[in-house]
Structure 1
Amino acid sequence: MSAISTIVAKEWAGVVRNRTVLAVVLIVPLVITAIPIVMLAVMANLGISQSDFAEIGYLLNNPRFDGMGPVEAMQAVMASNMLVLFLMMPAMVPVTIATNSIVGEKLTRSLEPLLATPISTTQLLVAKGAAAAVPGIATAWAGYLIFLIGARIFSVSDRVFTIFIDPMWLVALLVLAPLLTVLAVSASIIVSSRATDPAAAQQVGGLVVLPLVLLLICTLSGVVQLSGVVFWIAAAVVAAIDVVLLRLGVRLFNRESILTRWK
């Protein structure tokens, strides 16, 4: 464990020194968190009436929105759909850290001494994966807490706020988000072990975000209705993929090939 913790500390120190990576870790989550907060504030001051929402009155017939007015219902629907944004954080942040961790060290020749140490491939990948995964999960959870605080500041009603702490949100953030982080990290490590350019590795690793973008579009268009069941099914699928990618990542990470190729 001392070897793993040492590598994790080294990786985090590298993130702090790399302004580009640090900007992604800090700024991108803040922007994503600000989007639903701003939308809530705008909706609260629009002065919307019941008649303005006649064409989407079905929203008000949903049992979840019993007792809510038009503005409250739209705030609840909008923010619930924006939940997908918080799932993007643990997919985007780790990709940036993991790809720069491996490909960047290839380019600076700092990976060779590490590969030559007695540490096993599994320990090495666990350390690098943890160094990338923890910030991803932390930003998602921190973003959610900031969102809750922002929702309260902008005077969201108690009825709407209850929607934001629905079990659906907790399943998504406490179960699905960490699994998505493992998926993003595993895919990034596999790509980075073969790539020679950090940007190219990030683009390929970023494909993990595309299904989430598609899910966001489907929820905003009404094609998909988010629920705890949807997220439990998604978590089961992602968990199965994680198992495959974790095993594949260890198998494909050929340290001898990396050492000889980058001498």
Structure 2
Amino acid sequence: MQRLSIIIPAYNEEKTISLILDRINEVKLIRNIEKEVIIVNDCSKDNTEAAIQRYMSDTPNLTINYFKYIKHDVNQGKGAAIHTGIAQATGDYLLVQDADLEYDPGEYNTLLKPIVLASADVVYGSRFMGGNPHRILFFWHSIGNRVLTFLSNMMSNLNLTDMETGYKVFRTAIIQRIYLHEKRFGFEPEVTQKVSMIPGIRIYEVGISYYGRTFAEGKKIGWKDGFRAIYCIAKYGLFNNQLFRKPSEIKAPAQTVG
């Protein structure tokens, strides 16, 4: 493994985008793995773009080897931003990093350990296992996550503890082949159902920290997204007619910029 692609979907994150980039910049990956950061601005209405450009041009001593910045002309949703980032990834593996500081880039090496030691294809970071710090927030939100994980496991025959986690690492050659539909928060249940169907796929799970936000602090997912997740679990678990893209539908990523 030579390069990790870090996809950052961003929508109205001017207050935190520079902070998350700082934390990514501070991380030294095991075995001198390179970092490729792909920021997808999903048509933010605030000064997210200016904050990103200022960081890219003014920050000294960057340890990030490659930067890509992409902007959607219209807001399409977090899932759509992830799709764009996946298509542009050139790393051997990729992960999704939210721009809101809920997940700690300092734990990248924890996520990568099953890959470099056991050649895992997919690694999930679980907020519900291990002894790492977790901010105490909403009871019903945590129950909802566990119910969704339970339903997802029933369909996928996996034994995950946290299907809805924002930290998922994928072998890039595999995830770029998967046909993904969901444009919003349905990405999590859809991709979980689909990777579980790949013959011989090696999926690991590791414990991670979680520094959750309240809705007043900018958290965007709501109860409607929970019902959508149930729909996606059933749809892609029972009626998944197309798992992989046709070779002609896979676009080569653009050249990376150092």
Same fold (TM over 0.5): no
Which has the bigger relative contact order, CA under 8 A and spacing at least 6? 1
TM-score bracket relative to the smaller structure: under 0.3
Larger-gyration structure (1/2):
1
**The structure with more strand, counted as a fraction of residues:** 2
TM-score using structure 2 length: 0.27
TM-score using structure 1 length: 0.27
